[in-house]
Amino acid sequence: MTVPRTATFVISIDVEMSWGAVHHGRPHDASPYRLEREVVARTLALMERHGISATWAVVGHLFLAECTAAAGSHPHPEIVRPEYPWLPDDWYDLDPVSNAAAAPTWYGPDLVDAIRACPVPQEIGSHSFGHVIAGDPGCGPEAFRTDLAAARALAEAEGLALRSFVYPRNSIGHLDVLAAAGFTSYRSPTPDRFPGITGWRRRATTLVDTVRPLATATFQPVVRGTLVDIPQTYLFDPDSKRARRLGTMAWSLAVRRRLRHAVRTSSLFHMWFHSHNLAAAPERAFRAMDAVFAEARRHMDAGRLENLTMGAVAERWQESHAPRG
Ligand SMILES: [Zn+2]
C-alpha cells in the first residue's frame, strides 16, 4: 500500500432528519430536527471561513419537495421493501406522504441546495434513499439495489452523480450491490485501536490514548476492489458525556490531539457526525469546530495535511493502486 506523505483529513456528515429516528420503535419526535437547517448553515459558514470541504451523506428522500401515494397504497412502490423481523409494518408506513412546508423534517431539497451553494466545494454523498439498514439480514440485495436506484435517480435529476456512501446505522452490507450501483467509497465503523489487547491492559491503554493518542493506532483508507473503505476515526459529538465533562475548549483540544496525531503519523483523521449531534449542543459544537478547522487550516497551509472529500480519497487511492505500465 502506498503510504501518503501527508495526513488526510476527511469529514463526513449524516443528514437524515426524521428518517434516522423513525424506525427506532418509539413514538417519533421530530423536535431534535427542527434546528437542522440552522446547524447546516452554520457548519457551511465555518467551512467557508476556513476553506474546508466535507462529504454530506444525505438521505435520498430529503431530495424530494413532496411525495404522493395512490389511494390505499404505500408511497415509493418501485422500492422493494426490506423484511425485518423487528418491523412488521411497511418501511414507508411512517412516510407522511406530504411536502416540505407541512413536514419539514421529512423533505429537504433546500438543504441540498444550501450545501451545493457553499463557495468552498462540498461533496453530496448518499445515506441511502430511505435509511434502510443494509447489514441486517432482512435487507436483501434487491431491497438495497432498488433503494440505491431511487437515491441515484433523484440526485441525477439535480445533475449530481453520487459516489460516496455512508451506511445507515453504520450497518455494512451488500458491498457488491453498492459497487454495481456506481459508488466508489463507503465509510466503515471505527476500527479497534488496540487489537489483541484485553483486560486491564486495554483499559489502561485506552485511558492513556485518550490523553495522548498513541502512535501505533493509525488508520488509512483501504482499497477493496472498485470501492475504497474509508474508516471513521472520530465521532464529533458535542453532547457526549466526555464533551460535557471536559468543557468546550478542553474537549476541542482532545479533538485536535487526534488531528495532530494523524499529522504526526501521516495517517487518516476521519471526523464524522450527524447534523443533529450539533443541534443537541450548538454553541459548544461551533466553538470547538471553529478551533478544529483553524488548526487544520494551519497544518494544511504548512503542507502537512490534506483535506479531501470521500470521493477524492477514492480517486486518489485507486490511482495509487492502478497497475503500472
Ligand atoms: Zn415519501
Question: Is 305 domain-assigned?
Answer: yes
Question: Is 242 domain-assigned?
Answer: yes
Separation of 166 CA from ligand 1 center, angstroms?
20
Average pLDDT over residues 22-44: 84
- Model pTM? 0.93
- Percent helix, percent strand, percent coil in the chain, to nearest 5: 40, 15, 45
Question: Is 2 domain-assigned?
Answer: no
Separation of 317 CA from ligand 1 center, angstroms?
36
Spatial distance between the Cα atoms of 115 and 122, rounded to a whole number of angstroms: 7
Separation of 95 CA from ligand 1 center, angstroms?
5
Asked if the model's pLDDT at residue 323 lies above 70, the reply is no
Asked if the model's pLDDT at residue 75 lies above 90, the reply is yes
Average pLDDT over residues 43-65: 98
Separation of 177 CA from ligand 1 center, angstroms?
23
Separation of 144 CA from ligand 1 center, angstroms?
17
Separation of 98 CA from ligand 1 center, angstroms?
7
Average pLDDT over residues 303-309: 97
Give the confidence band of 309 by pLDDT, cuts at 50, 70, 90. Answer: very high
Q: What is the mean pLDDT of the chain?
A: 92
Asked if the model's pLDDT at residue 311 lies above 90, the reply is yes
Tally of CA atoms within 13 A in the half-sphere of 185 that contains its CB: 29
Residue 123, C-alpha cell as written in the block? 461533496
Spatial distance between the Cα atoms of 63 and 325, rounded to a whole number of angstroms: 43
Question: Is 200 domain-assigned?
Answer: no
Separation of 41 CA from ligand 1 center, angstroms?
24
Domain that holds residue 174: 7-192+219-320
For residue 51, what pLDDT is reported?
98
Q: How many domains does the chain have?
A: 1
Separation of 152 CA from ligand 1 center, angstroms?
15
Separation of 92 CA from ligand 1 center, angstroms?
7
User: What 3-state DSSP class applies to 70?
Assistant: coil
Radius of gyration of the chain (CA): 20
Q: 20-24, 93-97, 291-295, 312-316: lowest mean pLDDT where? A: 20-24
Q: 16-20, 31-35, 49-53, 91-95: lowest mean pLDDT where? A: 31-35
Helix (H) or strand (E) holding 104: none
Phi/psi for 108 (5° steps) reads -160, 50
198 vs 299, residue with greater confidence: 299
Which residues keep their CB under 5 angstroms from ion ligand 1?
Answer: 67, 75, 95
For residue 168, what pLDDT is reported?
97
Separation of 105 CA from ligand 1 center, angstroms?
12
Cβ(295)–Cβ(49) under 8 Å?
A: no
Question: Is 114 domain-assigned?
Answer: yes
Average pLDDT over residues 63-82: 95
| CATH code of the domain in which 150 resides | 3.20.20.370
Question: Is 169 domain-assigned?
Answer: yes
Instruction: Give tens-digit pLDDT for 226-281.
Output: 999 999 999 999 999 999 999 999 999 999 999 999 999 999 999 999 998 999 99
Question: Is 31 domain-assigned?
Answer: yes
Question: Is 1 domain-assigned?
Answer: no
